[in-house]
Amino acid sequence: MQTFLRKILISAILFSVSPFLCYTQTPSPDTPSYQFAMVRNISDSFENSLKLNPPLDPINLDLAKQQHEMYIDLIQQMVSAVVRIDADRNHPDCNFIEDTAIIVDDIAVISRMGAIERRGEEGAVAQILQELGKNIVHIHSPGTMDGGDILHTGKHLFVGLSQRTNEYALEQLKSIFQGKTEVVGIPVANSLHLKSVLSFFDSETLIVADTKEAKVIQSNIESLTNEYTFVSVPDVSASNVLRIGSNLIVQDGFSASEATLQDLCNQKSVNLIKIDMSELIKADGALTCGCLLFN
Ligand code: GLY
């Protein structure tokens, strides 16, 4: 094993007994479980992260770090190993590792991120994925892609066409996944990413924000296929959920959305787990943003 990967894996946190979870429910067969989660520490420069709007209260860096640690603690109880990368002070958004790559089976597509400030975050991620045996493919200029715009349901790879991800990247993704999975472009308006307003619950159920723009996204998908049921939640921040096996991680602090998600979890025998990520939300961070999940 190469030195770099060995160093990373020394810090991999192996499966441990959970203080949070009761595995009393049977995972449904159509929900992915993962061997690996890759995460990245929060940079000391996180307060300078990109933001669509300045937050009303400034980011509390210490609290952001605590919340990110809680998130990593939670995920480590749901996967076999967490691969953790040091923060990069030159990249205040580096903890939002989801944007750097997408991984489908043995293929890892490395982003050319839409925000110039974020380019360079992907290097360390690509190196580890390569050492873990993934086939590395890069998005090339003029293509731009952020992983937050990519929603893979198992049946479709939905590609949000946003300010960060463009048609050139969509064409490259169609070529990369030709014959493997259907790649579909979905225009995204007034959101950072597609997954800011739409996320995966299971292979037949998607969570969508109750906004005009998100409903247009829903309509676009419905005009293509009737394979999905959409569950609408009133809070935009709550529309990004993180599904790992029989667990659904949701944002704490959004009670109306939580009630809807709890009902869905009850129907589908899924464990709902709440986590407070208030400081990450201030930097437009969502629950899926903080990890790359793969086998
Ligand atoms: N702050 C996350 C992003 O703008 O990409």
171-191 pLDDT per residue, tens: 999 999 999 999 999 999 999
Q: How confident is the model over 31-48, as pLDDT tens digits?
A: 789 999 999 999 999 999
**Could you tell me the residue range of the domain that residue 194 belongs to?**
3-16+30-294
Residue 98 in contact with ligand 1 by CB distance below 6 A: no
The answer, yes or no, to whether residue 14 has pLDDT greater than 50, is no
Answer yes or no: is 265 within a domain: yes
Residue 283 in contact with ligand 1 by CB distance below 6 A: yes
Answer yes or no: is 24 within a domain: no
Per residue, the 3-state secondary structure of the chain, as one string, reads: CCHHHHHHHHCCEECCCCCCCCCCCCCCCCCCCCCEEEEECCCCCHHHCCCCCCCCCCCCHHHHHHHHHHHHHHHHCCCCEEEEECCCCCCCCCCCHHHHEEEECCEEEECCCCCHHHCCCHHHHHHHHHHCCCEEEECCCCCCCCHHHEEECCCEEEEEECCCCCHHHHHHHHHHCCCCCEEEEEECCCCCCHHHCEEEEECCEEEEECCHHHHHHHHHHHHHCCCCEEEEECCHHHHCCEEECCEEEEECCCHHHHHHHHHHHHHHCCEEEEECCHHHHCCCCCHHHHCEEEC
Residue 71 in contact with ligand 1 by CB distance below 6 A: no
Answer yes or no: is 236 within a domain: yes
Q: Would you call the peptide bond into 142 cis, given omega within 30 degrees of 0 as the criterion?
A: yes
* pLDDT-derived band at 10, boundaries 50, 70, 90: very low
Mean pLDDT for 201-223 is 98
Answer yes or no: is 25 within a domain: no
Answer yes or no: is 23 within a domain: no
Q: How confident is the model over 246-257, as pLDDT tens digits?
A: 999 999 999 999
Answer yes or no: is 263 within a domain: yes
Domain count, the chain: 1
How far is ligand 1, taken at its centre, from the CA of residue 105, in Å?
26
Residue 50 in contact with ligand 1 by CB distance below 6 A: yes
Angle between the N-to-C axes of helices 3-10 and 122-131, in degrees from 0 to 180, rounded to the nearest 10: 100
How far is ligand 1, taken at its centre, from the CA of residue 50, in Å?
5
Answer yes or no: is 254 within a domain: yes
pTM for this entry: 0.92
Q: What is the CATH number of the domain that holds 211?
A: 3.75.10.10
Answer yes or no: is 120 within a domain: yes
Residue 121 in contact with ligand 1 by CB distance below 6 A: no
